[in-house]
A and B are shown apart, each in its own frame.
Chain A
Amino acid sequence: MNDIFLKMQKLAREVQAVRMPLDRLITLAWRGEEPDKAAIAHVLRTEAAQRELALDWETNLYRHLTGQYCLICTALPHNPKDAQQLATRRLINSREACSFCGLVEGSYAPIELTVATNPVGIPIPGERVHPRCALHWQRLKLIANAAPTKSSLL
Protein backbone atom coordinates (compact mmCIF):
# COMPACT_ATOMS: atom_id res chain seq x y z
CA MET A 1 0.00 0.00 0.00
CA ASN A 2 2.69 2.46 1.08
CA ASP A 3 4.64 1.43 -1.97
CA ILE A 4 1.83 2.63 -4.23
CA PHE A 5 1.63 5.97 -2.40
CA LEU A 6 5.39 6.39 -2.52
CA LYS A 7 5.41 5.92 -6.29
CA MET A 8 2.51 8.34 -6.80
CA GLN A 9 4.13 10.93 -4.56
CA LYS A 10 7.37 10.64 -6.48
CA LEU A 11 5.60 11.10 -9.79
CA ALA A 12 3.66 14.08 -8.43
CA ARG A 13 6.86 15.74 -7.23
CA GLU A 14 8.32 15.37 -10.70
CA VAL A 15 5.37 16.65 -12.72
CA GLN A 16 3.82 19.12 -10.19
CA ALA A 17 0.39 18.89 -11.79
CA VAL A 18 -0.90 16.72 -14.58
CA ARG A 19 -4.17 15.44 -15.96
CA MET A 20 -4.24 12.14 -17.81
CA PRO A 21 -5.97 8.76 -17.78
CA LEU A 22 -5.31 6.72 -14.66
CA ASP A 23 -3.79 3.99 -16.75
CA ARG A 24 -1.13 6.31 -18.11
CA LEU A 25 -0.43 7.75 -14.67
CA ILE A 26 0.29 4.24 -13.41
CA THR A 27 2.48 3.52 -16.43
CA LEU A 28 4.47 6.68 -15.72
CA ALA A 29 4.79 6.07 -12.00
CA TRP A 30 5.98 2.49 -12.50
CA ARG A 31 8.03 3.05 -15.63
CA GLY A 32 10.53 0.34 -16.31
CA GLU A 33 8.41 -2.14 -14.36
CA GLU A 34 5.49 -4.44 -15.11
CA PRO A 35 2.97 -3.67 -12.37
CA ASP A 36 -0.45 -5.21 -11.89
CA LYS A 37 -2.25 -2.18 -13.30
CA ALA A 38 -5.78 -3.32 -12.53
CA ALA A 39 -5.01 -3.90 -8.86
CA ILE A 40 -3.24 -0.53 -8.49
CA ALA A 41 -6.03 1.31 -10.27
CA HIS A 42 -8.51 -0.40 -7.99
CA VAL A 43 -6.69 0.93 -4.94
CA LEU A 44 -6.21 4.45 -6.31
CA ARG A 45 -9.87 4.81 -7.24
CA THR A 46 -10.99 4.39 -3.63
CA GLU A 47 -11.78 7.44 -1.56
CA ALA A 48 -9.71 6.13 1.35
CA ALA A 49 -6.57 5.98 -0.78
CA GLN A 50 -7.13 9.44 -2.21
CA ARG A 51 -7.72 10.87 1.25
CA GLU A 52 -4.58 9.27 2.62
CA LEU A 53 -2.57 10.62 -0.32
CA ALA A 54 -3.92 14.10 0.38
CA LEU A 55 -3.40 14.02 4.13
CA ASP A 56 -0.14 12.15 4.55
CA TRP A 57 1.63 12.22 1.22
CA GLU A 58 1.18 15.82 0.04
CA THR A 59 -0.41 14.57 -3.16
CA ASN A 60 -3.85 15.26 -4.56
CA LEU A 61 -5.35 12.59 -6.80
CA TYR A 62 -8.91 12.84 -7.97
CA ARG A 63 -11.18 12.13 -10.86
CA HIS A 64 -11.67 14.97 -13.28
CA LEU A 65 -14.96 15.68 -15.02
CA THR A 66 -13.58 14.11 -18.19
CA GLY A 67 -12.93 10.79 -16.46
CA GLN A 68 -9.21 11.38 -16.49
CA TYR A 69 -7.33 11.74 -13.22
CA CYS A 70 -5.58 14.83 -11.85
CA LEU A 71 -2.35 14.33 -9.96
CA ILE A 72 -1.19 17.40 -8.07
CA CYS A 73 1.79 17.85 -5.79
CA THR A 74 0.89 20.03 -2.79
CA ALA A 75 4.30 20.22 -1.13
CA LEU A 76 5.02 23.79 -0.09
CA PRO A 77 8.29 25.66 0.16
CA HIS A 78 9.05 26.58 3.76
CA ASN A 79 11.14 29.67 3.10
CA PRO A 80 9.13 32.83 2.39
CA LYS A 81 11.26 33.78 -0.60
CA ASP A 82 10.35 30.76 -2.70
CA ALA A 83 6.76 30.95 -1.52
CA GLN A 84 6.56 34.54 -2.65
CA GLN A 85 7.81 33.62 -6.09
CA LEU A 86 5.18 30.89 -6.40
CA ALA A 87 2.38 33.00 -4.98
CA THR A 88 2.99 35.98 -7.22
CA ARG A 89 3.47 34.25 -10.56
CA ARG A 90 0.70 35.18 -12.93
CA LEU A 91 -0.56 32.85 -15.59
CA ILE A 92 -1.68 34.29 -18.91
CA ASN A 93 -5.04 32.54 -18.81
CA SER A 94 -5.54 32.95 -15.07
CA ARG A 95 -9.30 32.72 -15.30
CA GLU A 96 -9.07 29.25 -16.74
CA ALA A 97 -6.21 27.89 -14.68
CA CYS A 98 -5.73 27.02 -11.05
CA SER A 99 -3.59 29.64 -9.30
CA PHE A 100 -1.98 27.03 -7.08
CA CYS A 101 -1.10 24.18 -9.40
CA GLY A 102 -1.24 25.98 -12.75
CA LEU A 103 -3.29 23.24 -14.38
CA VAL A 104 -5.20 24.80 -17.27
CA GLU A 105 -8.85 23.80 -17.16
CA GLY A 106 -10.02 25.63 -20.28
CA SER A 107 -13.73 25.21 -20.81
CA TYR A 108 -14.04 23.10 -17.66
CA ALA A 109 -13.01 26.07 -15.53
CA PRO A 110 -16.52 27.13 -14.42
CA ILE A 111 -17.12 23.63 -13.07
CA GLU A 112 -13.72 22.61 -11.78
CA LEU A 113 -12.47 25.89 -10.30
CA THR A 114 -13.73 28.06 -7.46
CA VAL A 115 -12.81 31.59 -6.47
CA ALA A 116 -9.98 31.54 -3.96
CA THR A 117 -10.67 32.94 -0.50
CA ASN A 118 -8.40 34.06 2.27
CA PRO A 119 -8.46 32.09 5.56
CA VAL A 120 -11.38 34.06 6.96
CA GLY A 121 -13.46 33.48 3.87
CA ILE A 122 -13.23 36.75 1.95
CA PRO A 123 -13.01 35.96 -1.77
CA ILE A 124 -9.95 37.14 -3.67
CA PRO A 125 -11.02 38.41 -7.11
CA GLY A 126 -9.07 37.09 -10.05
CA GLU A 127 -7.72 34.00 -8.35
CA ARG A 128 -9.28 30.66 -9.13
CA VAL A 129 -8.28 27.38 -7.60
CA HIS A 130 -9.38 23.78 -7.52
CA PRO A 131 -11.40 23.17 -4.37
CA ARG A 132 -8.72 20.68 -3.32
CA CYS A 133 -5.95 23.19 -3.91
CA ALA A 134 -7.68 25.96 -1.97
CA LEU A 135 -6.23 25.18 1.45
CA HIS A 136 -2.72 24.79 0.06
CA TRP A 137 -3.06 28.08 -1.81
CA GLN A 138 -3.98 29.80 1.46
CA ARG A 139 -1.02 28.18 3.18
CA LEU A 140 1.33 29.22 0.41
CA LYS A 141 0.14 32.81 0.61
CA LEU A 142 0.54 32.87 4.39
CA ILE A 143 4.08 31.57 4.10
CA ALA A 144 4.79 34.17 1.41
CA ASN A 145 3.36 36.96 3.57
CA ALA A 146 5.70 36.03 6.40
CA ALA A 147 8.61 37.40 4.35
CA PRO A 148 10.10 40.56 5.81
CA THR A 149 9.03 43.37 3.52
CA LYS A 150 11.82 45.26 1.86
CA SER A 151 12.28 48.59 3.60
CA SER A 152 11.52 51.56 1.45
CA LEU A 153 14.39 53.63 0.09
CA LEU A 154 12.62 56.83 1.07
Chain B
Amino acid sequence: MSEVAIETTKKVIRPLAADSLMFEDARIVRYVAFVPRDTDPQMLTESRFWLSVAQRLTPLAHVLVVWDDRSQMAELLVTESSQSFVSMLLLNYRKLPGIISDGSEALVNFEIYYSSIDGYCARRLSDSVLIVKGASSREKAIEELKSHPAFKAD
Protein backbone atom coordinates (compact mmCIF):
# COMPACT_ATOMS: atom_id res chain seq x y z
CA MET B 1 0.00 0.00 0.00
CA SER B 2 2.75 2.43 0.94
CA GLU B 3 4.44 1.83 -2.43
CA VAL B 4 1.34 2.90 -4.26
CA ALA B 5 1.15 6.09 -2.20
CA ILE B 6 4.74 7.00 -3.13
CA GLU B 7 3.97 6.47 -6.77
CA THR B 8 1.02 8.82 -6.72
CA THR B 9 2.99 11.58 -4.99
CA LYS B 10 5.70 11.28 -7.67
CA LYS B 11 3.22 11.73 -10.45
CA VAL B 12 1.97 15.07 -9.24
CA ILE B 13 2.55 17.57 -12.00
CA ARG B 14 1.74 21.16 -11.44
CA PRO B 15 -0.25 22.44 -14.43
CA LEU B 16 0.88 25.48 -16.33
CA ALA B 17 -0.52 28.73 -15.00
CA ALA B 18 -3.20 29.96 -17.33
CA ASP B 19 -1.62 33.36 -17.80
CA SER B 20 1.75 31.99 -18.81
CA LEU B 21 0.58 30.98 -22.25
CA MET B 22 0.10 33.79 -24.69
CA PHE B 23 0.63 34.70 -28.25
CA GLU B 24 4.27 34.76 -29.18
CA ASP B 25 3.81 38.13 -30.82
CA ALA B 26 2.49 39.55 -27.55
CA ARG B 27 5.83 39.07 -25.82
CA ILE B 28 8.54 38.71 -28.43
CA VAL B 29 9.31 41.28 -31.06
CA ARG B 30 11.04 40.16 -34.21
CA TYR B 31 13.17 42.60 -36.11
CA VAL B 32 15.03 42.36 -39.35
CA ALA B 33 18.18 44.38 -39.88
CA PHE B 34 19.92 44.89 -43.21
CA VAL B 35 23.63 45.42 -42.74
CA PRO B 36 26.28 46.50 -45.28
CA ARG B 37 27.92 43.72 -47.21
CA ASP B 38 31.33 44.22 -45.56
CA THR B 39 30.00 43.68 -42.03
CA ASP B 40 31.97 41.19 -39.99
CA PRO B 41 29.70 38.62 -38.26
CA GLN B 42 31.87 38.92 -35.14
CA MET B 43 30.80 42.54 -34.88
CA LEU B 44 27.10 41.70 -34.49
CA THR B 45 27.42 40.70 -30.85
CA GLU B 46 29.26 43.91 -29.99
CA SER B 47 27.14 46.44 -28.14
CA ARG B 48 28.66 49.35 -30.08
CA PHE B 49 27.25 48.06 -33.34
CA TRP B 50 23.67 48.46 -32.05
CA LEU B 51 24.23 51.82 -30.37
CA SER B 52 21.79 53.81 -32.49
CA VAL B 53 18.92 51.33 -32.12
CA ALA B 54 19.62 50.02 -28.61
CA GLN B 55 16.71 51.85 -27.03
CA ARG B 56 14.25 50.22 -29.42
CA LEU B 57 15.37 46.71 -28.55
CA THR B 58 13.93 44.79 -25.63
CA PRO B 59 15.11 41.62 -23.90
CA LEU B 60 14.00 38.48 -25.76
CA ALA B 61 13.64 40.34 -29.03
CA HIS B 62 14.88 38.41 -32.04
CA VAL B 63 16.84 40.18 -34.72
CA LEU B 64 17.23 38.62 -38.12
CA VAL B 65 20.27 40.12 -39.76
CA VAL B 66 20.57 39.97 -43.52
CA TRP B 67 23.60 41.24 -45.41
CA ASP B 68 22.42 43.59 -48.11
CA ASP B 69 23.91 41.50 -50.91
CA ARG B 70 22.03 38.52 -49.50
CA SER B 71 25.26 36.60 -49.01
CA GLN B 72 24.91 35.83 -45.29
CA MET B 73 22.21 35.63 -42.66
CA ALA B 74 22.32 35.62 -38.86
CA GLU B 75 19.81 35.35 -36.06
CA LEU B 76 20.39 37.11 -32.76
CA LEU B 77 18.63 37.14 -29.43
CA VAL B 78 18.68 40.23 -27.25
CA THR B 79 19.41 39.17 -23.68
CA GLU B 80 19.50 42.59 -22.11
CA SER B 81 19.15 46.10 -23.35
CA SER B 82 19.20 49.65 -22.15
CA GLN B 83 19.25 53.09 -23.72
CA SER B 84 22.70 52.64 -25.14
CA PHE B 85 23.73 49.09 -24.38
CA VAL B 86 22.60 45.72 -25.61
CA SER B 87 23.94 42.27 -25.06
CA MET B 88 23.32 39.93 -27.92
CA LEU B 89 23.48 36.20 -28.36
CA LEU B 90 24.26 34.82 -31.79
CA LEU B 91 21.82 31.96 -32.30
CA ASN B 92 22.39 31.08 -35.87
CA TYR B 93 24.69 32.16 -38.64
CA ARG B 94 24.85 30.90 -42.17
CA LYS B 95 26.24 31.82 -45.51
CA LEU B 96 23.71 31.98 -48.31
CA PRO B 97 24.37 31.29 -51.95
CA GLY B 98 25.23 34.83 -53.02
CA ILE B 99 23.72 36.33 -56.12
CA ILE B 100 27.17 37.05 -57.45
CA SER B 101 29.96 34.52 -57.19
CA ASP B 102 32.68 35.79 -54.89
CA GLY B 103 35.82 36.42 -56.89
CA SER B 104 37.85 33.39 -56.02
CA GLU B 105 41.60 34.03 -55.66
CA ALA B 106 42.39 30.78 -57.42
CA LEU B 107 41.27 32.30 -60.72
CA VAL B 108 43.88 35.06 -60.64
CA ASN B 109 46.14 33.21 -63.06
CA PHE B 110 43.36 32.71 -65.58
CA GLU B 111 41.70 35.00 -68.07
CA ILE B 112 38.17 34.18 -69.09
CA TYR B 113 36.98 35.88 -72.24
CA TYR B 114 34.33 35.55 -74.91
CA SER B 115 35.22 35.04 -78.52
CA SER B 116 32.53 34.99 -81.18
CA ILE B 117 33.91 31.82 -82.76
CA ASP B 118 34.66 29.64 -79.75
CA GLY B 119 32.33 31.01 -77.10
CA TYR B 120 33.79 31.38 -73.63
CA CYS B 121 37.44 30.42 -73.27
CA ALA B 122 39.77 30.30 -70.29
CA ARG B 123 43.45 30.95 -70.76
CA ARG B 124 46.24 30.49 -68.27
CA LEU B 125 48.07 33.79 -68.10
CA SER B 126 51.47 32.47 -67.05
CA ASP B 127 52.04 30.57 -70.28
CA SER B 128 48.94 31.58 -72.32
CA VAL B 129 47.72 28.02 -72.81
CA LEU B 130 44.06 27.77 -73.74
CA ILE B 131 42.51 25.45 -71.16
CA VAL B 132 38.77 25.76 -71.68
CA LYS B 133 37.21 26.37 -75.07
CA GLY B 134 33.62 26.58 -76.21
CA ALA B 135 31.87 27.03 -72.87
CA SER B 136 28.42 28.59 -73.12
CA SER B 137 28.64 31.09 -70.26
CA ARG B 138 31.14 32.54 -67.84
CA GLU B 139 29.91 30.34 -65.00
CA LYS B 140 30.15 27.24 -67.17
CA ALA B 141 33.69 28.20 -68.15
CA ILE B 142 34.70 28.58 -64.50
CA GLU B 143 33.03 25.28 -63.65
CA GLU B 144 34.87 23.53 -66.46
CA LEU B 145 38.13 25.20 -65.48
CA LYS B 146 37.82 24.07 -61.88
CA SER B 147 37.31 20.46 -62.90
CA HIS B 148 40.28 20.58 -65.28
CA PRO B 149 43.37 18.64 -64.14
CA ALA B 150 45.62 21.58 -64.99
CA PHE B 151 43.72 23.75 -62.52
CA LYS B 152 44.29 21.37 -59.62
CA ALA B 153 48.01 21.17 -60.38
CA ASP B 154 48.49 24.89 -59.72
Chain A residues within 8 Å of B, Cβ to Cβ? 2, 5-6, 9-10, 13-14, 56-58, 75-76, 78, 118-120, 122, 135, 138-139, 142-143, 145-146
Contact = CB atoms under 8 A, between A and B. Distances in A.
A145 B37 contact: yes
Contacts of A118: 68
Contacts of B69: 119, 142
Interface residue SS majority, chain A = helix
A120 B66 contact: yes
A57 B137 contact: yes
Interface string B36-60: 0100000000000000000000000
Given A58-B137, A78-B138, A119 B70 contact: yes
10 contacts: A2-B136, A5-B136, A75-B137, A76-B138, A119-B68, A119-B70, A135-B99, A138-B99, A142-B37, A145-B37
Interface of B: 34, 37, 66, 68-70, 99-100, 103, 112, 114, 116, 119, 136-138, 140
B100 A13 contact: no
A10 B138 contact: no
A151 to B, nearest CB: 16
A6 B112 CA distance: 17
A83 B112 CA distance: 16
Contacts of B138: 58, 75-76, 78
Given A9-B136, A13-B116, A56-B140, A120 B99 contact: no
Contacts of B70: 119-120
B136 A57 contact: yes
A105 to B, nearest CB: 25
B124 to A, nearest CB: 17
Given A56-B136, A56-B140, A9 B119 contact: yes
A51 to B, nearest CB: 13
B68 A120 contact: yes
Contacts of B99: 119, 135, 138-139, 142
Nearest to A79: B103
Contacts of A119: 68-70, 99
A6 B100 contact: no
Contacts of B100: 139, 142-143
Contacts of A9: 119, 136
B45 to A, nearest CB: 21
Contacts of B137: 56-58, 75
A87 B124 CA distance: 29
A6 B136 CA distance: 8
Nearest to B70: A119
Contacts of A10: 116
B90 to A, nearest CB: 20
Contacts of A14: 116
Contacts of B34: 120, 122
